[in-house]
Amino acid sequence: MTPLKYAVLAGFLLMPLASATVAEPALELVQQNCVSCHQSEVYTRDDRLMQTYDDLLAQVRRCELNLGLSWFDEQIEQVARHLNQEYYKF
Ligand code: HEC
């Protein structure tokens, strides 16, 4: 194996450890992936598009798919739940 492959493999193996130490994984996910196009004002503006929690879950999935992030369902749910707790409060 090339050194690069070792590095990639090591990174992959360490990933679960790294994310386990993050106190708020959903917050991290949002900050790392979601703020380049819109910050939190899109969730709190008067004419926000989401009307229900299901809308929100679907929209998180839509944005995530657009970005090609390949999140697990749990990550999508964590982020939707986080946005709901912080902003939408359905
Ligand atoms: C490539 C740009 C882009 C990125 C990055 C992005 N989004 Fe979006 N998002 C949009 C657009 C465009 C809209 C629609 C905004 C509008 O209609 O004004 C939107 C809308 C939303 C809404 C609905 C806002 C409302 O009106 O209530 C949610 C929730 C949302 N995004 C979540 C996310 C999450 C979670 C991520 C990170 C995974 C993310 N977005 C990353 C482009 C992006």
Distances (CA, A) of 62 to 7, 34, 56, 72: 31, 12, 10, 13
- Say if residues 83 and 43 touch (Cβ distance below 8 Å): yes
Q: Tell me which residue has its CA closest to atom 22 in ligand 1.
A: 59
Query: In whole numbers, what is the pLDDT of the chain averaged over residues?
Result: 86
Distance CA 27, CA 70 (A): 17
Q: How confident is the model at residue 11 (pLDDT cuts 50, 70, 90)?
A: low
- Pairwise pLDDT comparison (72 vs 18), residue with the higher score: 72
Q: How confident is the model at residue 42 (pLDDT cuts 50, 70, 90)?
A: very high
Distance CA 36, CA 50 (A): 20
**Ligand 1 centroid to 6 CA: how many Å?**
35
